[in-house]
Structure 1
Amino acid sequence: MDVASVLCMNPPGDGKRSYANNSLLQRITISKSKPFLVETTKNMIRSMKRSSSSVNGGWPACFRVADLGCSSGPNTLQVISEIINTIDDDIICNQQKDDRDHHDPEIQVFLNDLPTNDFNSVLKEVPAFYNQRDKNKLRCFVSAVAGSFYGRLFPKESLDFVHSSTSLHWLSKVPDYINEENKGKIYIAHSSPPNVYKAYKEQFEKDFSNFLRLRCEEMKAGGCMLLILVGRRIPHPSASKYFSPFWDLLATSLMDLVAKGLVKEDDINSFNMPCYTPYKEEVREIIEKEGSFNLDKLETLEVNWDLREAIEIGEENFVLNENQSGQIISDYIRAIAESILVHHFGEAIIDSLFKTYSEHITEYLHFHNPKHVNILLSMTKK
């Protein structure tokens, strides 16, 4: 599977199945991580102000920020807006009028995702974003950059700030030589052979190290990077019967379709998800080993599977309903994984698969209170 050409969040044209309508989890994560983002941005501002090599009291005339894995939908410009608001408050509002340069700093924003992303929908939202920014002093210019973040995207030493949220769990490829060893499963499971976990872990280390090396080339010295990675609570698959319930239950659902004659078992045995949810200490070790960045801060953030935190962040249309939680989660997974599943299994089984999947999740939630785990980290280029 060529992940870069297959992976695509469901576009707005898919209506209720679209990523835009099923990205509340990511929105909650962004909202709950806002203090981390604001603190990181303020620390960066203080550091740049102390720099004697920069103009305008340490602040560049054009500040360049990239959001990698931006996707499309209501979340796309949310983080960028928070970054700009923080910079605007610290750089502009706190300056005395007599101290200001005749030309206030400008911000150039690059929204990146795979070429399969729905950039048309993203760019249609930019004029409204500009209108909202009119109340701020900082001028902002937004453009799209299509390409994998496992390759070079920007000129050398051109970026001041890099952000990526809930994207780096996607691998550049499915690890080699695991299909025959992972029969009946589509990801690391409690009962998977040790070699499966080892292969996934090594592929993530290779991809994440490559990501760090490439960003180091593209960022200015002292530049800041903030990442939110989908992670896991436990250090090893053997520590829990349910290492990755999302994919365990999807594999069970696929096997149910085998029993109904809708899917061939060999097709399941030859399929594995191109993703990896790291443990926080794995991430720390890779950063330290790769050596391009200083790790400034690392935290974890958890969100309930039933997304009850939506009420806390003011999502007016959200209703907490235990009977609907299975369907909400099923729709979320469908929005992010349907393109990959269709590529391998065909489109005909998708409705039946996710109906069964929803039922399995609903049953699972009766006995468990699982949480989505996110790893938040901020780094500075050495």
Structure 2
Amino acid sequence: MVLENILCMNTGNSDTKELPILTHSIKAIANNHDTVFGQCFRIADLGCSSSKNTLLVVHNIINIVHQMCEEKNLKAPQFQVSLNDLFGNDFNTLFKMLPDFYTVINNEKDESFGPCFVSAIPGSFYGRLFPDQSLHLVHSSYSIHWLSQIPEGIENNGSNIYITKTSPPNVLQAYRKQFHSDFTKFLQMRSEEIVPGGGMVLTCIGRSIVDPTSEDSCTLFELLAQSLVDMVKEGMVRESDISPIHLPIYHPCQEEVRNVIQNEGSFSLDNLVVFRLNWDPNDNDFINTNDVNNETSQRHGENASKILRAVTEPLLTCRLKKSIIDEVYKRYGKLLAKHLAQKKTRHFNLSISLTKK
């Protein structure tokens, strides 16, 4: 199974958390490259997906640059924006959004605003995508925790679809090794494409502790696996159908991210910010440690199930009949609701800003 043919990246809802980091990174690039302003600022968004959030990120970056130009009384640069995702991504949807995007940008800015040119660059970001030293800023949101392939030698992980406390030690080691290899490759490829002094802002789902079986990393996928196991017990799914299912993701801890960056050596780590988000992106309650009533937990469970379905369904449909997929995620939503009623586990997120040496 070639993962590049079935996966497309999924953007997150961390825009407000990323803005200060983006602002800081763009200011640093401006200090290193005074000539950029008045010429062309080249941006790449890796793992862009095809939602409205994609162009919102671009909009935010343009606003930051434009505001800096106004503050320093500088001419705004032209913008060259490259949107990247795997070949299966729905780039046509993005292209259809561009006329409205251009209209909004042009209406917001004055005559000094430099034109913006948007294009698509399909392909895996674990390989080369751009010419040498052609980019000033690389952005990637909720993509680098996706692995280039399923780790090798994890067939003994049983009915687990990801790392759990019952996973054999070799499974944990295989996932860790694959992430370290992939993230190192990612940094190496970008080091060739970014100008010296250029920057990257990366956001991914991580975990809060060194232990890879931490609750905030694994519970979501343990509950999805439980939905499948329950259907096996009821004869709706064969065990042989679910045992080969393994998710090609890895949620790193802060120490792992720092170590890979340091060992690869092409970038300096400027900032690493952690923050938590609820499983249901519509849930704004960050005070209570569990959902306050059954109706609330049901709603949050259903919403969280929809979000995870968008991410995991392409992987399940490779092994399971499409006719039972709805039932899988219906059960999943109920398990999520039951968990949230007892304990509101949250995503642990990492936002990283880097500068090319």
TM-score (norm 2): 0.92
User: SS where residue 373 of structure 1 aligns?
Assistant: strand
The one-letter code sitting in structure 2 at the alignment partner of 1:94 is E
2:116 corresponds to: 140
Q: Distance in 1 between matches of 2:316 and 2:243?
A: 13
1:359-370 alignment to 2 at 5 Å?
359-370=334-345
CA distance in 1, matches of 2:42, 2:284: 31
Q: Which amino acid aligns with 1:274?
A: P
Task: Say whether 1:202 aligns with 2:187.
Answer: no
Which residue is equivalent to 1:381?
356
Q: Is the 8 A contact 2:216 2:348 kept in 1?
A: no
Task: Give the one of 53, 57, 74 matched to 1:79.
Answer: 57
The answer to whether the aligner puts 1:264 opposite 2:217 as a matched pair is no
What's the counterpart of residue 234 of structure 1? 209
Deviation of the 1:138 alpha carbon: 2.5
The offset of 1:151, in angstroms, is 1.1
1:278 corresponds to which letter in structure 2? P
CA positional deviation for 1:311 = 8.5
Matched, 1:89 2:67: yes
1:298 to 272, 290, 295: 272
Deviation beyond 3 Å, 4+ runs, structure 1 = 240-243, 306-312
Query: CA–CA distance in 2 between the matches of 1:209 and 1:68?
Result: 16
- Does 1:350 pair with 2:350? no
Find the counterpart in structure 2 of residue 109 from structure 1: 81
Structure-2 residue corresponding to 1:14? none
How many residues are treated as equivalent by the alignment? 345
Tell me the alpha carbon deviations over residues 210-269 of structure 1, each in whole angstroms, 9 at most, x when there is no partner.
Answer: 00000111111111111001111121135x567511110000000011012121112222
Separation in 1 of the partners of 2:216 and 2:191? 36
1:223 aligns with 2:223: no
- 1:8–1:116: 8 Å Cα contact kept in structure 2? yes
Other-structure match for 2:31: 46
Structure-2 residue corresponding to 1:15: none
Unaligned runs of 5+ in 2: 287-294
Q: How has the CA–CA distance of structure 1 residues 297 and 243 changed in structure 2, closer, same or farther, with 3 Å as cutoff?
A: closer
**CA-to-aligned-CA distance 1:52-100 (integer Å, 9 cap, x gap):** xxx3xx6361111000000011211111111110111112x1344xx75
Query: Matches of residues 316-355 of structure 1 in structure 2 within 5 Å?
Result: 321-355=296-330
Q: Supply the RMSD in Å over aligned alpha carbons.
A: 1.9
2:216/2:346 contact within 8 Å kept? no
Q: Which residue in 1 is equivalent to 2:291? A: none
Matched-pair contact (CA < 8 Å) for 1:62–1:106: yes
Alpha carbons of structure 1 residues 31 and 243: separation in structure 2 relative to 1, 3 Å: closer
Does 2:44 correspond to 1:66?
A: yes
Matched, 1:32 2:10: no
Question: Partners of 1:379 and 1:218 in 2: how far apart?
Answer: 14
Q: Which runs of 5+ in 1 are unaligned?
A: 10-18, 50-54, 313-319
3-state DSSP class of the match of 2:68?
helix
Structure 1's 76 and 311: CA in aligned 2 closer, same or farther, altered over 3 A?
farther
